[in-house]
A and B are shown apart, each in its own frame.
Chain A
Amino acid sequence: MSWYSGSIVVFSAIFVVIGIALLVVTAVNGGGVVGFVLGGLFVALGVARFQLERKRHER
């Protein structure tokens, strides 16, 4: 795995961790559309970027 790919994995993981934290904190605080949307978007962003990099690597 190249330095670039490794960095993408790390950044994707950070996005997912931040997203999950946002979701958990929102749920603990009794919910809220903004928190769930932001958390979901961050998780989706992290997963999507990771998948893109994986596909690029496979090609």
Chain B
Amino acid sequence: MERVLGTPALFATAYGNVGSSIYYALGVTASFALGLTPLVFAIAGVIFAATAASYAESTVRYPEAGGSSSFARHAYDELVSFGAAWSQTLVYVVTIATSAFFVPHYLSIFWEPLRTNPWDIVGGAVVIVALVALNIVGVQEAARLSVVLAVIDFATQVLLVLMGVVLVFSPQVLVDNIHWGIAPTWSNFAVAIPIAMLAYTGIETVSNLAEEAREPARTIPGAIKLVAIAVFAIYLTLPLVALSAMPVQRIDGQLTTLLGLPPEQGGYANDPVLGIVDNLGLHGAFLNGMQVYVGLLAATILVIATNAGVIGASRITYSMSSYRQMPEIFRRLHPRFKTPWITLLVFACIAPIIVLLPGDVTFVGTLYALGATLSFTVAHASTIALRVRRRDAELLYKSRPNLRIGSVDWPLFAIFGGIATGISFAVIVVQNQATRYVGLGWLLAGFVGYLVYRRYVLHVPARQTVKAPPAFGAALALEYRRIVVPIVPGRPSDDALDLACRLAAERGARIIALTVIEVPLELPLDAPMPHEERVANDELDEAVAIGDTYGVRVLGRLVRGRNASAEIVRVAERRGAELIVLGSPRKSLVDRRRGVFGTTVDRVLRRAPCRVMIAAATNGGRA
């Protein structure tokens, strides 16, 4: 999946993921929070906003895949990074299981047994196996379709909210729903908050796509803010409508709501959004039409969310293997399809199906919350640590609010978010026995495996960052998989790109076309430079078009810095590039005393972490 991603595409992809969570999170949360469900979603939303702020700042600082594990690598060391990555893996495994498990529930409009065990388990497993098979074969994600579906999904959710507000919303019912300390009990209320974070699954998505964004400093914060706003619009209102339509009532002697009851007891915990449709007071053909429409849309969105989880799980474990956090077998590519089939099978197929087998919605919900809260806590802690340890670094984007004490800008959002997610993690561990043993068992097994692998197989300290060599297995033939080509207006760069495209076309590599805007020292790094940005974007568009003519994927990247050579070297390091292809005019005989190439090329040659190829065109001829 390689494409140029701007704010709209990043937003749509992220909302496609986050927005899908409401289809299962509403019921799970309501089963714990009952009448306080809207309040719980509001509290979880504030924590989500703080988390989104941490992700926005740290992702712009390090626009690379990995999310919290990448932040932890830069802020702390490889051991902490492993902990975050392993938690994320658990989150992806549970996301796959949950999304797939709920697909049959929404398709039960066509066949009722799909709402309950065992058919929902069977249906979920079929969805997982089918998607993993497609990913092993290497089917490309249809980005445009995802964008369209995300927009339709959001519009439908807004429509449901507006219909609900007009047809069933009742402030009095919402007040009557609340029985402080009784329904829900305080312990259930405390557990409901981290569980409601299930609704915010997907914030990592923007982070993971960051390295495919052209201008992360501008597009990432924009996309994250838009996702937060869209999510607030729905997640603060849909629970109000749901609890108005399905109020807390005494059923079998217990105060509960149909929203949180399993289907065996006539509830809608397995398909809460269909429950809203059923209880809006609609009748006849319109009701049937809405049921089919919402059921099909929800199932489609959940399949896409499952697929995003499959891609996420394979990416994070492949990345862990690349950093020698896991055995190399997990980055072995399929000899024919060139996809990481072993990691796909283990972490995107077998593990989620095992999680799915009990068919227990509460278990997967709390397990997700355990992994997510730990991963978020690491992200917050890393944001704080980076602010302290690299206090003098110029930031392209700084989230707010902050408190300046001495020379450190303390990120209040990360401090609040870290405390909140840390407490949420503790609540989940203390309150849920099954989740405690499975979740902590997962973490313990991971850490033991990591330490054994590092100590006895690699003979490398656990805290040291080590990158695996690029050539491995089926990738052996691909000597150059990532080629960085710095682009400036003019013939030498065109020649360099031409040369790189020919190399890439032969070897199936991808090209990162890089344009550096050198910002003068007297200006802040994020100073508006519209002319330079326009020229740079034109150059990158042209580079992508040239790549298309060769059938080579060219990813445009626009970065700002004080010095072009330093930025080129930095991008090559972060991308794990095997080759930098630079264009350079040959100097005349008079100039030769000062060096064969210009200063930028000379500096890159001296500092590059990989091979450097110079396309040195003569004044009028070819390289």
Contacts and interface: CB of A to CB of B under 8 A. Distances in A.
Interface in A1-56: 3-4, 7-8, 11, 14-15, 17-18, 21-22, 25-26, 29, 32-36, 38, 42, 49
Interface residues of B, number: 22
Interface in B211-236: 222, 226, 229-230, 233
A7 B165 contact: no
Given A11-B229, A18-B161, A34 B7 contact: no
B171 A18 contact: no
Contacts of A17: 162
B175 A34 contact: yes
A19 B233 CA distance: 10
Contacts of A42: 237
Contacts of A34: 171-172, 174-175
A15 B233 contact: yes
Given A3-B7, A22-B165, A38-B240, A11 B233 contact: yes
Given A32-B171, A38-B171, A11 B226 contact: yes
B144 to A, nearest CB: 15
Contacts of A26: 169, 171
A22 B230 contact: no
A34 B240 CA distance: 11
A15 B174 CA distance: 20
Given A11-B226, A18-B237, A49-B229, A4 B171 contact: no
Nearest to B162: A21
B434 interface: no
A49 B237 CA distance: 17
B180 to A, nearest CB: 15
Interface residues of A, number: 22
B368 interface: no
Contacts of B226: 4, 7-8, 11
A29 B171 contact: yes
Interface-central residue, B161, B222, B229, by most chain A CB under 10 Å: B229
B163 to A, nearest CB: 10
A35 B171 contact: yes
A17 B159 CA distance: 11
A17 B6 CA distance: 28
A46 B358 CA distance: 43
Contacts of B172: 29, 32, 34
Nearest to B161: A18
A18 to B, nearest CB: 6
Nearest to B165: A21
A2 to B, nearest CB: 8
A15 B231 CA distance: 12
Nearest to A18: B237
B229 A8 contact: yes
Contacts of B347: none
Contacts of A35: 169-171
Contacts of A32: 171-172, 175
Interface of A: 3-4, 7-8, 11, 14-15, 17-18, 21-22, 25-26, 29, 32-36, 38, 42, 49
10 contacts: A4-B226, A8-B229, A21-B169, A22-B169, A29-B171, A32-B172, A33-B171, A35-B169, A36-B171, A38-B240
Given A25-B166, A25-B169, A36-B171, 4 more contacts: A11-B229, A17-B162, A29-B170, A38-B240
Closest 5 CB pairs of A and B: A35-B171, A32-B171, A34-B171, A21-B165, A4-B222
